[in-house]
Amino acid sequence: MSVDAFQGLGRLKKLSLWNNNLDLRLSPYHPDVFSPLVSLEVLFLNQNMPNGSTGFGYPDRALSKLVKLRTLQIDGLENATFGPGFRNMTSLISLNVSGYQGGYCKMTSLTNKTFVNVQHLQHLNLSSCYVKGKFIEAGTFSPLGSLVSLDLTHNEDIDIVNLDKVFYGLHDTKTLRHLKMHLIVNRYSVGICLDSSYIRHFPKYLEHFDAQENNLEALDRQVISKLSPSLKSLDVSGNKFVFGTYLLDLHRMKNLTSVKINGGSFVYNLPSLYPYELSRYSLQSNCTLYGHTKVQKFRAFVLDLPPNLETIEMNEAGLKYNLSELNATHNNLKHLSLRGNYFSHLYGPFHNFDQLETLDLSFCQVKFISCHFFPSFRSLKNLSLNNNQLGDFFSERDESNETFVFSNLTSLSRLDLSYNNIRKLDPGIFKSLKSLRVLILANNSMINFTVDISLLFNLTYLDLSHNQISSLPADTRTFIDCHLKLLEIKMAQCSILCECVNLEFLLWMTGSRAFDDRFQGYLCVKEDSSIMPITDGYNSTLDELEHACTSHVTIFFFVGAGTVVMFIVILGGIIYRFRWKIRYLYYAAYLQYKRLDRKRDTGFQYDAFVSYDHSDEEFVVRTLCSELESRKLKLCIHGRDFKAGDYIASNVVKSVCSSRKTVVVLTRNMIKSYWCGYEIQMANMESIHTGRQVLVFLLMEKIPASDLGVELLYNIRNNTYVPYPENQLDAGSLNRLWDKLANDIKE
């Protein structure tokens, strides 16, 4: 490059010389070639040294002029150090020499001098650099006192036995928060039980540690205690962990909030060489998988989770279990993802998972869910059961294992049951999900949607796409229309029937705000079973059906009307022809009924139940009872004959039903009494139920019709009533009154 190659670019901030043929030697880089770039902050010089040959060096004199440079991407050279010119680059905080993406790197050895001139670095990427652990000096990273993140991914020759040399210079680095050591052992090595001696100098202030795909099988019981107490997230995916006593120490990681133990994420080519230089550290490990006991007394497995752990991921981890009973200590776990394992039967129960909000069991080949599996997930909000095999389970119609399987998930807001080959669902399966907002039932085999969603008041999204559903029931449509929240429904790729019998649904669907008016991906199944994709929002289909179905409706109307008229004419003729015989049969039946009614009347316990206000009790007891009982009538008086201990309402009903008549002593006091009104109503009900006249009114006072009220006045006019004489000294009139009242009661 010419010395004036960048002349006049004083305001340039980013320069990419990536993927050229600029050898990292002194000749292509004049000491002043970058001098004009006084504002440059980002420089890409990587992928310029495909061979990483020895004898080359970094052009530190030329680069030293870039005093504002913050980010440098450059190829990693073998046996080379970052020269003294880098000391002048005080703004440089990010150095990327990675050979993994867009660069070449072959830094097989790392010495105590490699990074001595870049002490301001905060981010260092050494991934895919062929670093060999036996050529790492213990103080390599000691100069990097400001380092925040370090990436050593895909350096298979570092090896577990050399971890302590890597950690030595990082042990007391207070700023270090992120460390990635993904695949630092040979991918073909045997399983490793990590010994605590390899991590004696683990960085004390580290918060995020990535140790994926390192063939780890277990840990020394002392390993967890050696880890950083500040550790917040741990990713050990792609390893081969087995069940062991090291799990007893999980609770020691007090600040851990997230742990990932997923299956491997990298996909490799077929091997081209046999593995070499495999270490024998597995034979030197002090760790064990088993507890020590001399008697047959075994400790029950209890999952002792870290107290602040919120997220666990174990996706595609090769787990194959029936999820039976699991005990855990009290914890704050909120998100559990087990996607892509094999859990065909979910038995449960899982204890002490009260804080769990998200559970992912998709792609787990689930075939059965016990009603005991979910009860402890009281806070669960998001449940993914998609891509399983629950079709037969939901078709068995076993109430204990189907209708009630979700009954305890009252906080659930999202449920995904797509791709399960579900053919039918019990109508009440979701009735307890009061908080449900999103329900996904797409890509199943349902022909009819009979699920009752009327109690899902918070539902905002219902996905029924890719089923065989032709329409929705009327009650479901009514609920959708009355739903206060904007409910979105998807039925794309469903077998929607385009015939007259389904015209009502089509008109509703195209006019409902719950559907996208473009209807993209929707289908129309014709009468001949042909399927037509919808391109115009069902407009042409509706026009065609409305024209075809109108003639059908007209014909049906006239045929129906003619049938009704003919039936009425025939019925009228029959009635007219036999009118006298019908009248005779009616009166004969009525007289026979009255005879039977009189026979039944002889079975009453009382002749009359007396309804009166307590202020009229003296008249009732001393006069009315005395006169009527002297005429051989048996009376029921509430103050005398009600059964003690029974409810008043119950006593009233029993007295009315066991008495031939109910005598109402009508006074102004009686009109105001609640219980007297209740007694009259019960007598009315008895009259309607039995068909006999029950009420008899004794009018003690002249009360204006306006004071009686419409209902009471109606009862008086339609039942027997006897006025009490105004001249109470006329013995003859009183005797005639009592005789008449007694006769009315006996009839």
pLDDT digits (tens, 9 = 90+) for 136-173: 999 999 999 999 999 999 999 999 999 999 999 999 99
pLDDT of 246 reads 83
The yes-or-no verdict on residue 624 having pLDDT over 70 is: yes
pLDDT of 710 reads 80
The rounded mean pLDDT for the chain is: 87
pLDDT of 587 reads 46
Give 149's DSSP letter.
E
What is the three-class DSSP state of 84?
Answer: helix
Q: Residue 334's CB: how many other CB atoms inside 10 A? A: 18
Within 242-364, strands assigned E span: 258-260, 311-313, 326-327, 335-337, 345-346, 350-351, 358-360
The yes-or-no verdict on residue 591 having pLDDT over 50 is: no
pLDDT of 604 reads 83
State both tokens at 6.
């960048």
Within 56-143, strands assigned E span: 71-74, 94-96, 123-125
pLDDT of 266 reads 67
Average pLDDT over residues 104-130: 95
Average pLDDT over residues 602-619: 86
d(CA 127, CA 730): 124
The yes-or-no verdict on residue 542 having pLDDT over 80 is: yes
In sign, the C-alpha dihedral spanning 325, 326, 331, 335 is: negative
Confidence of residue 208 (pLDDT cuts 50, 70, 90): very high
The yes-or-no verdict on residue 272 having pLDDT over 50 is: yes
Count Cα neighbours of 271 within 13 Å in the Cβ-side half-sphere: 7
The highest-confidence range among 15-19, 21-25, 187-191, by mean pLDDT, is 15-19
State both tokens at 607.
């002749």
CB 186 within 8 A of CB 278: yes
Which helix or strand (DSSP H or E) is residue 733 part of?
A: helix 731-746
The yes-or-no verdict on residue 583 having pLDDT over 60 is: no
Query: Over pLDDT 90: what percentage of the chain?
Result: 54
The yes-or-no verdict on residue 295 having pLDDT over 50 is: no
pLDDT of 359 reads 98
pLDDT of 310 reads 96
pLDDT of 594 reads 52
The yes-or-no verdict on residue 102 having pLDDT over 90 is: no
* 686-711 confidence digits (pLDDT tens): 787 777 888 888 888 888 888 888 88
Confidence of residue 581 (pLDDT cuts 50, 70, 90): low
pLDDT of 212 reads 94
* 420-468 confidence digits (pLDDT tens): 999 999 999 999 999 999 999 999 999 999 999 999 999 999 999 999 9
Taken as a whole, the chain contains a residue count of 747
pLDDT of 54 reads 57
Give 75's DSSP letter.
P
Radius of gyration (C-alpha) of the chain in whole angstroms: 46
* 236-261 confidence digits (pLDDT tens): 999 988 888 888 889 999 999 999 99
* 37-91 confidence digits (pLDDT tens): 999 999 999 988 766 555 678 999 999 999 999 999 999 998 889 999 999 999 9
pLDDT of 198 reads 92
pLDDT of 283 reads 43
The highest-confidence range among 196-210, 290-304, 549-563, 718-732, by mean pLDDT, is 196-210
pLDDT of 589 reads 60
pLDDT of 679 reads 85
pLDDT of 584 reads 47
pLDDT of 582 reads 65
- Picking from 125, 158, 115, 129, the residue whose alpha carbon sits closest to that of residue 49 is 129
The yes-or-no verdict on residue 279 having pLDDT over 80 is: no
Burial 535-558 (b: 16+ CB within 10 A, else e): eebbeebbeebeeeeeeeeeeeee
* 481-494 confidence digits (pLDDT tens): 988 777 899 999 99
Non-local CB neighbours of 94 within 8 Å, separated by 6+ positions: 70, 71, 72, 121, 122, 123, 124
pLDDT of 245 reads 81
The yes-or-no verdict on residue 32 having pLDDT over 60 is: yes
Q: Of 135-149, 544-558, 677-691, 729-743, which gets the smallest average pLDDT?
A: 544-558
Query: Over pLDDT 70: what percentage of the chain?
Result: 89
pLDDT of 84 reads 95
Average pLDDT over residues 647-654: 79
Confidence of residue 190 (pLDDT cuts 50, 70, 90): confident
* 209-222 confidence digits (pLDDT tens): 999 999 999 888 88
d(CA 640, CA 269): 102
